[in-house]
Amino acid sequence: MTRSARFAPGGALRGGYTPPPDKSISHRAALIAAMADEPVAVRNYLDSEDTHSTLNAVRTLGAAVEQGPDGEVTIRGVGLHAPLEATGGLLNVGNAGTLMRLLPGWLAGQPGGVWTLDGDESIRRRPVDRVAEPLRMMGATVEARDGRFPPFTVTGARLTGIEYDLPVASAQVKSCVLIAGMFASGSTTVCEGATSRDHTERMLRRARVPFERDGLRSTVRQVDELELDEVVVPGDPSSAAFIVAAAILVSGSRVVIRDVGLNWTRTGFFRIAERMGAVIVGELEEPHADSDREPVGELDVASGPLEGTVVEPGEVPLAIDELTLVGLLGAHAEGETIVRGAEELRLKESDRIAGVVDGLRGLGADIEATPDGFVVRGDGSPLRGGTIDARGDHRMAMLGAVAGLASQEGVEVAGMDAVAVSYPSFEQELRALM
Ligand code: S3P
């Protein structure tokens, strides 16, 4: 049963706000902790459907997971080289694309082990050939439905290091190859065409894995054990982005966002919004930090008039999950906003190019799809409002909610329950600022 919710304009948003824990970093913390020999304390682990799928997967493989209060999770891992459990079995990734793309990197390095990965209806439409190809080059066997989609089976092997040029700018694929590289003889290098989120690299450095970064090349060497004692997960800038967008669009708003992750590879949306005229005060991390930490800070956001902008392909991976919000800001801005080089959006939890174009057009926007993005034109006035379908996609549901608060007549979001994937308390926290 899907649930609808109505979001009507209700005046300025005001107050302090702390986003939920970062989803990307939570997935990585659970997976990497499960590969360690000593227990790892993960603090502020995200409580959501996606990140539960990851805890369930590592439990199935033999790790012990203890969940305490307030996001405390202790993981007693199985080490890098002990045989994993459930060989021959099924691992259910639910809706979690990150779990589906990272976990095979670990499984591929387990000689003699065989696992099948599957998930929900949306995950079955998302390609896995992008991870199958490099893992096969390293020596594993990966067989997917129609050569491309889940369910798919990974048969582990003794892996050999490779040098791999990513055909798509994907942090998930990069991370999968780097994880497999820890099991591969020699060294494994991944070359990206454009910088994407670097949480895996930071966590591997933190776990004392021999790791080097040189521009867009990341190299990892075979390792016997990981040394990781604790991971503190910062607030998720992608979840915060929906609140930031609401504060930018609803006139008279001012919201202080606390304890939010400010890793440069995740803050592209904030830079794009500032370029459009939004007032966002805070210390975003500088580019190319070679750190083993995740920077955390505060952002002070206020509403203001916006103008159109062009988002170029190099910026896309840095704002990949927030690009639909650029469409919404563009619909309220004066002039034209163009997003280019974002064809990857068609392969997310839903086709987000179709979703944002059909969805915002239904609310009164002048927006059209292009093969690799969209173009939206505004005159600085708010959208009319109407109904939007979340299409089973958590980020489309949150987009609809923000659009409603910024609109003239309000928006009915069909399928609001999709938010449980990344942000179960979204609606409550958004309304608390009104
Ligand atoms: C993620 C990377 C991105 C992003 C996804 C999470 C990650 O996907 O869209 O929500 O945690 O690495 P791609 O790297 O495939 O673009």
pLDDT given at position 355 = 98
Predicted pLDDT of residue 290: 84
186-213 per-position pLDDT tens digit: 999 999 999 999 999 999 999 999 999 9
364: confidence class by pLDDT, cuts 50, 70, 90: very high
Task: Dump pLDDT digits (tens) for 268-326.
Answer: 999 999 999 999 999 999 998 889 999 999 999 999 899 999 999 999 999 999 999 99
What average pLDDT does the chain have? 97
Residue 64 · residue 251 · CB < 8 Å: no
In this predicted structure, the answer to whether residue 83 has a pLDDT above a threshold of 90 is: yes
What strands, in cross-sheet order, belong to the sheet with 386-389? 4-7, 411-414, 386-389
Instruction: State the average pLDDT over residues 77-103.
Output: 96
Ligand 1 near 171 CB (within 6 A): yes
Q: According to the model, what pLDDT value does residue 2 have? A: 87
Scanning 43-198, the segments in alpha helix (DSSP H) are 49-60, 97-107, 129-138, 171-181
> For 34-71, what is the HEC assignment?
HCCCCCEEEECCCCCHHHHHHHHHHHHCCCEEEECCCC
Q: Quote the percentage of the chain above a pLDDT of 70.
A: 100
Please tell me if the CB atom of residue 344 comes closer than 6 angstroms to any atom of ligand 1.
yes
Which residue is closest in CA terms to ligand 1's atom 13?
Answer: 170
Ligand 1 atom 10 nearest Cα: 321
CB distance 95 to ligand 1 below 6 Å? no
Distance 181 CA to ligand 1 centre (A): 19
Mean pLDDT for the stretch of residues 205-223: 96
pLDDT digits (tens, 9 = 90+) for 403-416: 999 999 999 999 99
Q: Is it the case that residue 366 has pLDDT exceeding 90?
A: yes
Examine the pLDDT at 382 and tell me if it is beyond 80.
yes
Provide the whole-model pTM. Answer: 0.98
What pLDDT does 288 receive?
Answer: 81
Q: Give the span between the Cα atoms of 188 and 265, in whole angstroms.
A: 22
What's the CA gap between 46 and 73, in Å, rounded?
A: 10
- Residue 171 alpha carbon to ligand 1 centre in Å: 6
Residues above pLDDT 90, as percent of the chain: 98
**Residue 98 near ligand 1, beta carbon < 6 Å:** yes
Other C-beta atoms closer than 10 Å to the C-beta of 73 total 24
- Give the residue from 392, 382, 434 showing the smallest Cα distance to 413: 392
pLDDT in tens, 120-134: 999 999 999 999 999
Active site residues: 321
